[in-house]
Structure 1
Amino acid sequence: MKKILLIIAIVSILIACQKEAGKGGTSSIIGKVITYELSHFDVPGTNQRIDTLGYYYHADEEVYIIYGDEDNYYDDSYETSFDGSFRFENLRKGRYTVFIYSDCESDTTGLTVINQSNPVYAQQLASTIWKSDCVDGDVVVKMDIEITENNQQYNLGDITRFKIESNL
């Protein structure tokens, strides 16, 4: 009976000592933020199109991280370096969400109208800047990642954001 109680106590201690996602580990998440500057022309009957004015790795862009999957409040942020890169260090095993904000427009009823006359252009808008979850001109671009090993660097690659320069 004492052995069973001892085994239960040891198992309980081990379970209680499991750490959640967050700081205090040895792994890192890296990536880059790339921005595409766009202009689009929505006048029916004309040359409806999206033009890419330029793209660049975005310096001084705020990147946010959420530890775990318990809530939607960010736990830390990092301002990208001159080359658009970011790095969250000293992370433990667990789930993380990294996100940024991108420009958007929410006129999805207009998108339906455009889709009837120019479905290719409507698809271009839907895949870039017209988002149903657009709030006050911003939409969240997020990436979920799970750190499964210590002493590892996880590369998210490029995270794309859009900057709307003009809407004619």
Structure 2
Amino acid sequence: MKPSLLIPLILTFLISFTSCSKEEGEGGNSSIYGKVIVHDYNSSYTQLNGIYDGADEEVYIIYGDDLSYSERIRTNYNGVFEFKYLRPGNYTVFVYSEDSTLTLPSGKYAVLREVEITGNRQTVRADDIIIFK
């Protein structure tokens, strides 16, 4: 190979290799966990019937500034969830709750928790997510 072709080829390889930065998402060794708690009300949300762990609730995570959710899991029997194998970065975890104000057309809204993983091999706890049913 000619030396005049070798230098641009090496430079292209170095630039492409060093410009790749790892973003939020799967492929790491950190995790985010938390708990979903249900406040169970009557149909008009005037009387609290009970508070219990949110078993088998869907929990979503958004990696970084993605526009839609990146992964969905379900809580265990204790209302606990865990997203594993994450890289350092910013994440949004959310669960859909019924609208206790009875004003939203869909009848539901997302309860969000912002979580940051700052390093490798971290296990970060998200604040409890309280939803209405």
1:30–1:157 contact (8 Å) kept in structure 2:
no
Distance change (3 Å), C-alpha of 1:82 and 1:40: closer
The equivalent position to 2:84 in structure 1, one of 80, 89, 95, is 89
How far 1:40 sits from its partner (Å)? 7.0
More helix as a share of residues? 1
2:122 aligned to which of 138, 152, 156: 152
How far apart, CA to CA, are the structure 1 residues paired with 2:105 and 2:119?
A: 36
Residue 95 (structure 2) aligns with: 100
Give the % identical residues: 41
1:37 match = 40
Moved over 6 A (4+): 5-9
**Aligned: 1:67 with 2:63:** yes
Residues 1:135 and 1:153: Cα distance change in structure 2 (over 3 Å): farther
* Runs (5+) with no aligned partner, structure 2: 1-7
SS of match in other structure, 1:13:
helix
Cα distance in 1, alignment partners of residues 70 and 29 from structure 2: 18
Q: TM-score, normalised by structure 1?
A: 0.66
Q: 1:2-151 residue pairs with structure 2 within 5 A?
A: 10=14, 13-16=17-20, 18-39=21-42, 50-71=46-67, 73-104=68-99, 129-130=100-101, 134-151=104-121
User: TM-score, normalized by length of structure 2?
Assistant: 0.82
In structure 2, C-alpha distance between the alignment counterparts of 1:38 and 1:24, rounded to whole Å: 40
Q: Shift in Å at residue 50 of structure 1?
A: 2.9
Give distance in 1, aligned partners of 2:16 and 2:95.
39
Checking the alignment, whether the CA contact within 8 Å between 1:131 and 1:139 is kept in structure 2 is no
Q: Distance in 2 between matches of 1:88 and 1:34?
A: 18
Give the C-alpha shift of residue 144 in structure 1. 1.4
3-state SS, counterpart of residue 50 of structure 1: coil
Whichever residue aligns with residue 36 of structure 1, its letter is H
The answer to whether the Cα contact below 8 Å between 2:26 and 2:87 also exists between their aligned partners in 1 is yes
